[in-house]
Amino acid sequence: MNIILASTSTLFGGEYLEYLKEELIQLYAGIDEIVFIPFARPGGISYDEYTAKASSFFEKIGIKVKGLHEFNDKAEALNNAKGFFTGGGNTFLLVKTLHEENLMSVLKTNVECGKPYLGCSAGSNIGGQNMKTTNDMPIVYPPSFECMGLVPFNINPHYLDPNPELKHNGETRETRIKEFLTQNDLKVVGLREGNWIRRKGDEITVEGAELTRIFEKDKVPYEIEPGTEL
């Protein structure tokens, strides 16, 4: 497999996907067209608008982008595609749409065959075993929470450390992930913004500038350095 699962598409103060540019040139080496999956619709943006946004970045590195919504036969479009990018937004909307159109398993099969895959945020969540560690609001009811399982763990994108100054009793991210571990025995990778997971064949590492926080059942959470194998 040849995969990047990124915490976020955009660093604070940066341009869309800019911080990943060199990585993406390598990920998509030899490929001049990819299929974009716009179903997460951040802020309710239209599929066309979202595809145009992805396109405006990818034209800088010589890659044409086609939105998956543009095809009548979407399964065939995935089978014919050379590579994929799933954008962020609402994970519930993304997973609902992929399951209802029977595309989750088609996408999984194509990525497992070695076609390059980039996910950001919600698009990274669907690379995990299931979507039970998303941060998103459950604005729609998906027929299942199961995802592609391109990596043998779950991802928590936009991982955010507790803010000791916040006078608020909502749960911290760490509390939420620990609640997940009371109900599930599965490793969770708390991916801070600026970090990404890189899978090349069977090698899976975490990359980027920040430490990454790992949560496992009945263990104290711990931090790993960029470059560490997962």
Q: What is the 3-state secondary structure (H, E, C) of 79-101?
A: HHCCCEEECCCCHHHHHHHHHHC
d(CA 161, CA 175) in angstroms, rounded, equals 11
Binding mask 90-109 for its own copies (x = CB under 8 A): x-xx----------------
Nearer to its own copies (CB atom), residue 137 or residue 220: 137
**Of the candidates 66, 69, 99, 176, which one interacts with its own copies according to CB under 8 A?**
176
DSSP letters, 88-148, are -S-HHHHHHHHHHTT-HHHHHHHHHTT--EEEETHHHHTTSSBSTT--S---S--S--B--
Which residue do the tokens 């590195």 mark? 61
Residues taking part in catalysis: 121, 136, 158
DSSP letters, 6-68, are ES-SS-TTS-TTGGGHHHHHHHTTT--EEEEE-TT-GGG--HHHHHHHHHHHHGGGT-EEEEG
Q: Is residue 179 a contact point for its own copies (CB under 8 A)?
A: yes
Nearest distance, CB of residue 121 and its own copies, angstroms: 8
Residue 156 in tokens: 């928590």
Nearest distance, CB of residue 129 and its own copies, angstroms: 13
Q: Is residue 138 a contact point for its own copies (CB under 8 A)?
A: yes
Q: Is residue 13 a contact point for its own copies (CB under 8 A)?
A: yes
Nearest distance, CB of residue 4 and its own copies, angstroms: 17
Nearest distance, CB of residue 219 and its own copies, angstroms: 14
Q: Is residue 134 a contact point for its own copies (CB under 8 A)?
A: yes
Strand partners, 198: 4, 205
Q: Is residue 145 a contact point for its own copies (CB under 8 A)?
A: yes
Q: Is residue 41 a contact point for its own copies (CB under 8 A)?
A: yes
Q: In angstroms, what CA-CA distances link 117 with 162, 176, 177, 181, 217?
A: 31, 28, 26, 28, 29
Q: Is residue 137 a contact point for its own copies (CB under 8 A)?
A: yes
| Binding range to its own copies, per CB under 8 A, among 26-34, 52-60, 69-77, 125-133 | 125-133
Q: Is residue 158 a contact point for its own copies (CB under 8 A)?
A: yes
Nearest distance, CB of residue 29 and its own copies, angstroms: 27
**Of the candidates 135, 210, 221, 226, which one interacts with its own copies according to CB under 8 A?**
135
Give me the residues that bind its own copies (CB under 8 A), please.
8-13, 41-44, 89-90, 92-93, 131-141, 144-145, 157-158, 160, 167-171, 175-184, 193
